Every structure is written in structure tokens, then in C-alpha cells.
Structure 1
Amino acid sequence: MFQDFKHVGDRPVAIQVKEYVKRLIIKGSLQSDQKLPSTREMSGLLKVSRNTVIAAYEGLEDDGFAYAIPGKGSYVAAMAGHVAADQGGAEGSFTWQIDWKARMNDYAVSAVELDRMKQGIRAPKGTISFTSIAPDEQLFDLGDVRRAFLDRMAIEGQMLLNYGYAKGYKPLIDYLMRYMENKGVDLSGKDMLITSGFTEGFDMVLSALRPSARRGAAICENPTHHTAIKNLKLQGFELTGIPMERDGIDVEQLEAVLQKQPTRFDLAYLTPSYHNPTGIVMSPAKRSAVMSLMTRYQIPVIEDGFNEELRYSGAHVAPLIATAGQGNGVIYIGSHSKVLFPGLRVGWVLGDRALIDHLESIKRARTIHTSTIDQSILYQYLLNGNFDKYVKKARMEYKRKYELTKASCETYLPETQLSGDGGLHLFLTFPSGVNTHRLLEACKEQGVIFTPGDRFFIQEGEGLNTLRLGFSRVTDEHIEQGIRIIGEQLTKFL
């Protein structure tokens, strides 16, 4: 016994010793009231200092796993509720096996079936990967983030480590409300809820708007964000997709669908700026036309404020919620995750005050509140004026990569139709005979992977000749090399 202790990493050795002995007690290797080796003896057995063992024994006492008898040493405490692992089926053991798969409900089963990450593309180290559209962490200004954390802790200290509010950290809410007002949004009658990223906010809105007596019905662009498709389906919504044109959703088809079924739809999900996956920015004319239709048919709109800051050229285009004026029919879900620090997991929902009131209660019931530390760091970072400086730098770098990726596609994939007005990716449409899953397999053998585009379409079998090419985390050399390899493999299919 005590021969298998291994000191690992930079963790305090006393804690490692304490946890090692604790595991022996829980497994039954050390019995109740058994005397532990003396501190001098244990230090020799484990090859650690005696002071380390003394601290570990004190920790065991604090945790209720040991007790000391003055002048005699330390002993194993009797434990309630622990059954030794080697007792097997002995009387008093509660070991039994449950078939958890058989107990999963439809929601859990569907979540696995729709989980693209579990079905994701696996590739060896060194592969050129165009699958990510996350920001490049090399651009993160760590010094400014550290300063924001220290500044906020100096102001509020221990308060930030306690429970926060379900609605969110008020200084951040106030800042983001002004931020949205600067985008042209009329804040009359509106309020905001802070969430743990876009996805949580979207899921909460869907759960609040899902009809109780029947399946819901939603209208969206086709293709669209696969995470949105997953969550809409998990919440029981039937999806109707409207094709995309070069300047956004096909308004004529949208109107035709609404005229045919004027009372069917419970909501619309739209990404007007730097649409995922096509990268298209909806034109001002189409924004007005879409809002006119949504108003006429009284369909609430969930607007995904995806990548709005990554505009590389052209004038600012107001979000749909800004075109709604004092109207309350648009729910805007925002996040800086694709631009700034996705690890902070902070997003927001801006909408009618009555809606936010209900969402606040849903939030409190589910997760109590979004991390106050995360919210406060983001707030101080924004307050310090770092965001504009960072976005300017990020915009320049991503624009350069965008232009390099676009030029490489035009050189090596001349038969391909490109879309993407900004953001962190391009969407490629090949001639109809090309299957991008088969193309992916061929490219994977050559050390290149990408995201097949069919996962962004509503119906199975759609978009088999499309792919999304994320360039944000790929080096210049690999961008050109990877696209050249895709082009070489494509010629074999054509």
C-alpha cells in the first residue's frame, strides 16, 4: 500500500496527498478506526516532506475523513453512506445497472441525433482546417483583458464572487442598451436580459414562444445556422425555409408562402447581416420589405445579430429591430462571441419589456444568472474603450484574410459561385453534380477539411453541392495551399 502515489503537475502536494489517502478510504483500502502511518513514516513512503503529510492529515480531519488522538496519531473516521467498491453484491450494497439509453426521452434522443459536434470531422494533427469560424485568439489583447479584470475587482471586489441577478449585471445592461441605441434602435418599451451566449438566449426565447397545444411553425432563411435548426427542431418547431438571393432572402417567395398560409407561423428566425453560412448582408430594400410582410402577418421576428461588427466595406446597415421603430415585433439576440472572447459566454436578448420579464423568470429557473465575473470583465473592457481599438485591428486582419481567401477561390475554384460580404467565412456553391461529402473525403486524404454545406439546409438532401470555408484561424500559407488542394480534388469530380 502507498506505493502507487504519483506527484503530478504544479498542484500543491499536500492536497494531492490528502486526496490520495481520501481515495483509499472511500475504496475501502483503509478501514474505519484504522491507524494511519505516522507523519514521519508516511513522508518516507510517499517521498514527500513531513510538513506536507501534516498538512494533508489536517485536511483529512477538516473534511471528516480522519480524526486525531493526542499522543497516539491519526485514524480513519467512520463514514456514513460510502460502500466499498469491492463489496460487489454484498448485503448493504446499492450497486445496480440501469439502461440509460432506454430511459432517454424524445428530446434527449433528438439532441444526440442533431449534435453535429459529435458527428464532426475528425482529422489528424497538421490538417489544414477550414471548419472553424471562431475568432483567432492570437488577436486577443490579453493585457487589456487582465487590466479590465483588475480594475473591476478593485472597484467591487468580493461582491463579484457572490450571486448575481437573473436579468444580468446592471452596468453591462446599461452599456449594451446604449450600444444598441447607437445602432439606431428605439428603446421605448424595450428591456434587456443577459444570457450565457447567443444559444442560451435563443433557446429561452423559443421555449417561451413555443405553442402549448400543438407543434410550432417557424419560417427562416434556407440555408441557415445549423445550431438554430437544431434548437428549433428540439423545441418542436416545423421549419419552412425560404431560399437566399445575392442580397438576402427571396422576398417574393416569402410573400407567396405567407399568402398561402397567413396564420400558420409562430415566428421567423432571420440573420440579416453576415448571414451564417452564406455571409450575405440583406440589402436595405429587402429589410424594409421583410419587415413590412412580418408586420402585415403579425409574425414575431427573432433577429440574430451575428458578426455585425465585421463589416469590411460599405455603409452601416441598421438591424431589423432598428427599422421597427417603436414597434415591439422584433427580438434581437446579440453576442460578441464571433468577434470578441467567446470563452466569456456573454450574450443578450433585447425585446419588449413584457417578454423580457418572462425570460428573466425562465433564466432564474434554469441557471439563476450568467457568470457575474464574465459580465463584469466584459463591461470594464468595453468601458475602458478597448472594444473599438480591438475591432479595428480585427477588422483589418480578417479583411486581409477574407480577400486572400476570395482571391484563392477565384484562382483555384473558378467553376465555383462564392458568397460572403464579410465575417469569418465564405460559402461556396459548386456545379450540381458535385457532392461535397465525397469531396471532403478526397481532400481529407490530402490533409484538408471543411464543412459540407448541407448541414445548413432545412431538408435532407439539399445543399449537397455547397460548403462553408472558415478562414479566421488559418494561416495565409495554409489558406492558399488548402484551397489549391480543394481545387485539385474538385477537377477529378468535374
Structure 2
Amino acid sequence: MFQDFKLVGDRPVALQVKEYIKRLIIKGVLQADQKLPSTREMSSLLKVSRNTVIAAYEGLEDDGFRYAIPGKGSYVAATEGHLTTDAGGADGSAAWQIDWKARMNEYAVSAVELDMMKQGIRANKGVISFTSIAPDEGLFDLGDVRRAFMDRMAIEGQVLLNYGYAKGYQPLIDYLIRYMENKGIDTSGKDMLITSGFTEGFDIVLSALRPSARRGAAICENPTHHTAIKNLKLQGFEITGIPMERDGIDVNRLEKVLQKQTNSFDLAYLTPSYHNPTGIVMSPAKRSAVIKLMTRYQIPVIEDGFNEELRYSGAHVAPLIATAGQGNGVIYIGSLSKVLFPGLRVGWVLGDRALINHLESIKRARAIHTSTIDQSILYQYLLNGNFDKYIKKARMEYKRKYELTKACCEAHLPEAQLSGDGGLHLFLTFPASVDTRRLLEACTEQGVIFTPGDKFFIQEGEGTNTLRLGFSRVTDENIERGIRIIGQEARSFLQA
């Protein structure tokens, strides 16, 4: 006994000793009322100091696992509800086993099937990966983040460590509402809910708009964000996809679908700026046309503010919610995760005040509130004026990488049609004979991976000749080398 104790990491030694003895008690190796070795003996057995054992024994007593008899020593306290053997329960019964896979409902099974991270290819060490569209952490200004944290903790640290509000941290809400007003949005009659990133906000909105008596019906661009497809399907929505053109959604096709299926749709999900995966920015004319159609057919629009801040060139284009003016039919979901610190899980939903009132209650029922510390750090960082400085640096670097990636694609992949006006990725469409899943298999053998485009299409079998190239976290050398390899493999497919 006590021969398997090993110190690990930088954790306090006394804590490791206490937890080690506690595990022996819980497993039944040490029985109730059994005498423990003296502190001197235990220190010799575990090869730690006697003071360490004394502190560990005191901790065991505090936790209810040890008691002392003056003049006699330390003993194991009786415990209840723990296993006494590795094989079964305290009454000697066999270990209780449930087939959890058989118990999973349709929602859980679908979640696994639609889980892009589980189904996707893994990037081994040394592989050139174009799969990520996360920001480059090398651009993060850690000093400014650390300063924001210290500033906010000094002001109200004790408050931040307690429960927060389901609606969100009010100083951040006030800041973000002004931020949205600077985008040209009329916020009268509107309110905001802070969420743990875009995905939670989207899921909460879907759960509020999902019909109770039937399957929901949603309309969106095709292709579109895989996370949106996943959550729409998990929430029970049938999805109708509208093809994309060079300047955004095909408005004529959208109008024909709406005319044919009048009163059929519960919502529309659209990403007008730096669309995922195509990278297309919807033109101002199409934004106005879309709002007019949705107003005529009374279809609520969920606008994804994805990557809106990564504008490389051209004038600012107002969000759909700004185009709607004083109308309340657009729900804007925003997040800075693709440009600024995705580890701070903060997003927001801006919409009609009556809608936000209901979403707040759903949020409270599900998660109580988003991390107040995360919200407060982001608020102080923004308040300190760091965001403008950071975004200027990020735009310059991502624009440079965008132009390099685009030039490499034009040089090595002349057969592919490119789309993408900014952001962190490019979308490639090959001739129909190129199956990009087979292309991925060939490229993987050469140490290069990317995201097949069919993941972003509504119907199975669509987009099999497309792929998305994320360049934000790839070095210049690997961008050129990786795209050259993709080009070589693609040409072999075309020749075949």
C-alpha cells in the first residue's frame, strides 16, 4: 500500500497527498475506523515532508474523511454512499450498467451526426490545415487584455465573481447598443440580450420561434453556415435554400419561392456580410430588396453579423437591421469571436424589446447568465479604446493574407472560380467533375487539408465540387505550398 503515489505537475504537494488518501478511502482500500500511519511514517512512505502529511491529514479531517483520538493517532472516518469495491455497490450488488447509446433520443443522435468537429478530418502535427477560420492568436494584444482585466477587477471584482443577470452585464449592453447605432441602426423600441457567443444566441432565438404544433420552416442562403444548418435541423426546421450570386442571395429566386409558398416560412436566416462559406458581401440594392420581400410576406429575419468588422476595401454597407429602419422584423446576432478573442464567449442579440423580454427568460432557464467576468473584460477592453487599434492591425494582416491566398489560388488553381470579398477564408468552385472529398483524401496524403464545401449546402449531394480555404492561421510559406499541392492534385482529377 502507498507505493503507487506519484507527484504530478505544480499542484501543492499537501493537496496531492490529501486527494491520494481520500481516493483510497473512497475505493475501500482504507476501511472505516482503520488506523492511518503516523505522520512521520506516512512522510517516509510517500517520500514527502512530515509537515506536508500534517497539512494533508488536517485537510482530510476538514472534508470528513479522518478523525483523531488523542494519544492514539488518526483513523479513517466512516463514509456513506461510496463504492466499497471496484466491482459493485456497498451492498455487494453488481455494478449498475445502462446502455446510454440506446437511450439517446432523436435530438442527441442527430447532434452527433451533424457534429462537424467529430465527423471532420483531424489535423496531425506538420499538416498544413486550411480548415480553421478562427483568428490568429499571434495578433492578440495580451498586455491590453491583462490591463482590462485588472482595471475591471479593481473596480468591482467582488461583484463580478457573484451571479450576474440573464440579460447581461449592463455596461456592456450600453456600450454595444451605441456600437450598433454607429452602424446606422435605429435602436428605438429595441433591446439587447448578451449570450455565450453566436451559437447560443441563435439557438435561443430558434427555440422561441419554433412552432409548437408542426415542424418549422426556414429559408436561407445556399450554401450557408454549417452551424446554422445543424441548429435549424436540431430544432426541427425544414430548410429551403436560395442560391447565391456574385453580389449575394438570388433575389428573383427568393421572390418566386415566397410567391409559391406564401405563409409557409417561420423565419429567414441570412449572412449579408462576408458570408460563410462564400465570403460574399450582399449589395446594398439586394439588402433593400430582401427587406421589402420579408416585410411583404411578414417573415422574421435572423441576421448573422459574422465577420462584419473585417472589411478590407470599399465603403461600409449597412446591416439588414439598419436597412429595416424603425421596423422590428430583423433580429441581429452579433459576436466578435472571428476577429477578437473567441475564448471570451460573448455574443449579443439585438431585436424588438418584446422579443428580448422572452429571450431573457429562456436564457435564464437554460444557463442563468453568460460569464460576467468575460463580459466585463470585453467591456473594459472596448472602453479602453483597444479595439480600434487591434482591428486596424488585424485588417492589415488578414488583408495581406487574403491577397496572398487569392494570388496563390489564381496561380495554382486557375480552373476554380473564387469568391470572397474579405474575412478569413476563400470559397472555391471547381468544374463538376472534381469531387472535393476525393480531392481532400488525395491532399491529406500530401499533408494538406481543407473543408469540403458540401458541408455548407442544404441538400445532400450539393456542392460536391466546392471547398473552403481558411487562411487566418496559416503561415505565408504554408499558404503557398499548400495551395500548390491542392492545385497539383486537382489537375490530376481534371485530367482523369
TM-score, structure 2 length as denominator?
0.99
Distance in structure 2 (CA, Å) of the matches to 1:52 and 1:361: 49
State how far apart, in whole Å, the 2-side matches of 1:91 and 1:17 are. 29
Counterparts of 2:343 and 2:358, CA distance in 1? 27
**Alpha-carbon distance between aligned partners in 2 of 1:327 and 1:185, rounded to the nearest angstrom:** 11
Structure 2 equivalent of residue 279 of structure 1: 279
| Stretch moving more, 3-12 or 120-129 | 120-129
CA distance in 2, matches of 1:126, 1:71: 63
CA contact (8 A) 1:130 1:450 kept: yes
Preserved CA contact (<8 Å) 2:273 2:306: yes
Aligned length: 494
Aligned to 1:9: 9
Are residues 1:365 and 2:365 paired?
yes
| Matched ranges for 1:75-94 at <5 A | 75-86=75-86, 88=88, 91-93=91-93
Q: How far has the Cα of 1:88 moved from its partner?
A: 3.0
> Given the alignment of the two structures, is residue 117 of structure 1 paired with residue 120 of structure 2, yes or no?
no
Deviations 1:358-413 (A, max 9, x none): 00000000000000000000000000000000000000000000000000000000
Counterparts of 1:312 and 1:176, CA distance in 2:
22
| Structure 1 residue identity aligned to 2:402 | Y
Deviation at 1:120, TM superposition (A): 1.2
Q: Secondary structure at the match of 2:309?
A: coil
CA distance in 1, matches of 2:350, 2:283: 22
**Corresponding letter in the other structure for 2:480:** E
* Distance in 2 of aligned mates of 1:493 and 1:90: 64
Number of the residue aligned with 2:146: 146
Letter of the structure 2 residue corresponding to residue 455 of structure 1: K
Q: 1:101: how far off?
A: 1.1
Cross-structure match for 1:416: 416
Residue 70 to residue 90, structure 1, CA distance change in 2 (3 Å): closer
Distance 1:36 1:387 in 2: 58
Would you say 1:164 and 2:168 are equivalent positions? Answer: no
Distance 2:117 2:75 in 1: 48
Q: Residues of 2 paired with 1:90 and 1:318: CA distance?
A: 66
Q: Distance in 1 between matches of 2:13 and 2:79?
A: 25
2:394 aligned residue: 394
1:473-492 to 2 correspondences below 5 Å: 473-492=473-492
The SS at the match of 1:369 is: coil
Matches within 5 A, 1:189-208: 189-208=189-208
Per mean C-alpha deviation after superposition, the further-off stretch among 49-58 and 141-150 is: 49-58
Q: Structure 2 counterpart of 1:254, which letter?
A: L
Distance 1:371 1:94, change over 3 A: farther
Partner letter of residue 297 of structure 2?
A: Y
1:443-458 counterparts in 2 under 5 A? 443-458=443-458
Structure 1 pair 245/87, CA: closer, same or farther in 2 (3 Å)?
A: closer
Report the counterpart of residue 344 of structure 2 in structure 1: 344
Per mean C-alpha deviation after superposition, the further-off stretch among 398-407 and 91-100 is: 91-100
The answer as to whether partners of 1:123 and 1:444 remain within 8 angstroms in 2 is: no
Q: How does 1:289-308 map to 2 (within 5 A)?
A: 289-308=289-308
Q: Give, as a single letter, the amino acid of the residue that structure 1 aligns with 2:170.
A: K
Conserved? CA contact 2:84–2:90, under 8 Å: no
* Partners of 1:90 and 1:75 in 2: CA distance: 20
Residue 223 (structure 1) aligns with:
223
Q: What SS does the aligned partner of 1:85 have?
A: coil
1:78-102 Cα distance to aligned partner (Å, 9 max, x none) = 0011121335377354721111111
Letter in 2 for 1:460: E
The Cα shift of 1:460 comes to: 0.1
What amino acid is aligned across from residue 199 of structure 1 in structure 2?
A: T
Whole-Å separation in 1 of the counterparts to 2:166 and 2:442: 49
Identity %: 88
- Secondary structure in 1 aligned to 2:82? coil
Mapped pair 1:106 → 2:103: no
1:112 is aligned with what amino acid? V
- Write the letter of the residue equivalent to 2:201: G
Q: Secondary structure at the match of 1:462?
A: coil
Is contact 1:219–1:265 with CA below 8 Å preserved after alignment? yes
| Residue type at the aligned position of 1:354 | A
SS for the counterpart of 2:360 is helix
Q: Return the letter of the residue paired with 1:403.
A: E
Q: Secondary structure at the match of 1:344?
A: coil
SS of alignment partner, residue 97 of structure 2: coil
One-letter amino acid matched to 1:136: D
Shift of 1:69: 1.8
In structure 2, C-alpha distance between the alignment counterparts of 1:422 and 1:86, rounded to whole Å: 57
Q: Deviations 1:26-72 (Å, cap 9, x if unpaired)?
A: 00000001111111111111111111111111111111111122222
* Offset, 1:124: 2.2
Q: Distance in 1 between matches of 2:441 and 2:482?
A: 14
Alignment of 1:242-321 (within 5 A): 242-321=242-321
**Greater CA drift, 84-93 or 355-364:** 84-93
| CA contact 1:303–1:320 (8 Å) conserved in 2 | yes
User: 1:83, 1:93 within 8 Å by CA — same for their partners in 2?
Assistant: no
Name the SS of the counterpart of 1:118 in structure 2: helix
Q: Distance in 2 between matches of 1:207 and 1:481?
A: 45
Distance in 2 of aligned mates of 1:460 and 1:300: 27
Give a deviation string over 1:164-194, Cα, whole Å, max 9, x none. 0000000000000000000011011100000
Contact residue 217 and residue 265 of structure 2 kept, 8 A = yes
Kindly report which structure 2 residues correspond to 1:57-72, keeping only aligned pairs within 5 A, or say none: 57-72=57-72
Q: Which residue identity lines up with residue 360 of structure 1 in the other structure? A: E
